Amino acid sequence: FLLFLQVTCNCFTISNGEMQDVGVGLYPSMSLLNHSCDPNCVIIFEGYQLLLRSVQEIQIGEELTISYIETLMPTSERQKQLMRQYCFECDCLLCKNQEKDAEKLAGEEHAWKEVKDVVSEVRDLKSKKDWEQILARCKSLLRSNMGRLPDTNVYQLEMLDCAMDACIYLELWEEALYYGNRTLGPYRLYYPGFHPLRALQLMRVGKLQYSQDMFPQALETLKQAYNIMKVTHGTDHSLLQALMEIKEECEAIVRKQ
């Protein structure tokens, strides 16, 4: 039981190039890093290799921090998860100021609470890869909440993300791009500066634009992804290499046109 608790508190979720969870691993030296909801470093994986990348200017003697959880959640949800899994209360500036909580919970309260209740249901469907059911559920909620919830509401944003994922798996490229475009504004708001999730989202949208021959738009989107990813992933990372390939192809087509 003691070993189980140690693993639960100290393991890292290993993710692939698409930032999808593929397992867990113990990296003892990295387990010494403390948490902040506004961290100056991020953890990136290349296969099973863990990479610690700085995403802010770090002063001599300043502590290196990472986020143990998904920071998109409102402050109260972040605090609950940290207390439940790690047994501490975060006192970073983001939590003290409860910055952006108003935008994260914008819209009609009963509407976002309804969406929040469905989030766990949709996550369960994702684990079963029931993409048609996921898309139908997301479309229904997004349609019923039109005008009641802005896309900056974090639960609405999760529905948009799930709808985009489902469309990609079902090869509904035009619909996937529609939902992806709607996420870019909220991602810019909640993941300012250098964040791997924003870079990945820009890359996905750029690839969808490329697939639909929207080459000037795709090039601009892919450039934005590249400028973030060269910081968050580093120039040697395989995902950045893949991004550079499609960006260069896009540049060649735009020059030719």
Q: What percent of the chain has pLDDT over 90?
A: 82
Q: Which residue has the higher pLDDT, 162 or 18?
A: 162
Reported as a pLDDT band with limits 50, 70 and 90, residue 68 is very high
DSSP state letters, 188-203: HHHS-SS-HHHHHHHH
- Whether 91 and 168 map to the same domain: the answer is no
What is the residue whose two structure tokens read 């919830």? 149
List pLDDT tens digits, range 39-50: 999 999 999 999
Sign of the CA dihedral running 229, 233, 238, 241: positive
- Whether 72 and 28 map to the same domain: the answer is yes
- Whether 42 and 89 map to the same domain: the answer is yes
pLDDT at residue 129 is higher than 90: no
pLDDT at residue 156 is higher than 90: yes
pLDDT in the model for residue 245: 96
- Whether 78 and 42 map to the same domain: the answer is yes
Q: What is the CATH number of the domain that holds 167?
A: 1.25.40.970
The amino acid that residue 6 corresponds to is Q
The last residue of a domain, from among 102, 119, 141: 102
The last residue of a domain, from among 65, 87, 102: 102
Reported as a pLDDT band with limits 50, 70 and 90, residue 151 is very high
Q: Which of 48, 92, 102 is nearest to 69 (CA)?
A: 92
pLDDT in the model for residue 180: 98
pLDDT at residue 19 is higher than 80: no
List pLDDT tens digits, range 133-146: 999 999 999 999 99
Q: Round to whole Å and give the CA distance between 42 and 51.
A: 8
| pLDDT average, residue stretch 25-54 | 94
Q: What is the CATH number of the domain that holds 5?
A: 2.170.270.10
Mean pLDDT (the chain, rounded): 93
What is the residue whose two structure tokens read 């972040």? 78
Number of domains, the chain: 3
Distances (CA, A) of 144 to 112, 149, 151, 222: 11, 10, 13, 33
Q: Round to whole Å and give the CA distance between 122 and 217.
A: 31
Answer whether 176's CB lies under 8 Å from 164's CB: yes
pLDDT in the model for residue 226: 97
Buried b (16+ CB within 10 A) or exposed e, 144-180: ebeebbebbbbbbbbbbbbbbbbbbeeebeebbbebb
What is the residue whose two structure tokens read 């870019």? 184
Which domain covers residue 167, as residue numbers? 107-187
- Whether 160 and 111 map to the same domain: the answer is yes
Reported as a pLDDT band with limits 50, 70 and 90, residue 186 is very high
Q: Round to whole Å and give the CA distance between 131 and 254.
A: 34
Beta bridge partners of 14: 23
Q: Round to whole Å and give the CA distance between 161 and 165.
A: 6
- Whether 159 and 69 map to the same domain: the answer is no
pLDDT at residue 128 is higher than 90: no
Structural tokens at position 68: 């143990």
Q: What percent of the chain has pLDDT over 70?
A: 100
pLDDT at residue 32 is higher than 80: yes
The last residue of a domain, from among 43, 69, 102: 102
pLDDT at residue 79 is higher than 90: yes
- Whether 87 and 117 map to the same domain: the answer is no
| pLDDT average, residue stretch 124-131 | 84
List pLDDT tens digits, range 84-106: 989 999 999 889 988 789 999 99
- Whether 9 and 83 map to the same domain: the answer is yes
- Whether 24 and 84 map to the same domain: the answer is yes
Answer whether 92's CB lies under 8 Å from 37's CB: yes
- Whether 201 and 246 map to the same domain: the answer is yes
- Whether 12 and 50 map to the same domain: the answer is yes
Q: Round to whole Å and give the CA distance between 220 and 225.
A: 9
pLDDT in the model for residue 7: 86
pLDDT at residue 18 is higher than 80: no
| pLDDT average, residue stretch 62-75 | 95
Distances (CA, A) of 137 to 141, 160, 186: 6, 11, 21
- Whether 133 and 73 map to the same domain: the answer is no
Q: What is the CATH number of the domain that holds 234?
A: 1.25.40.10
pLDDT in the model for residue 244: 96
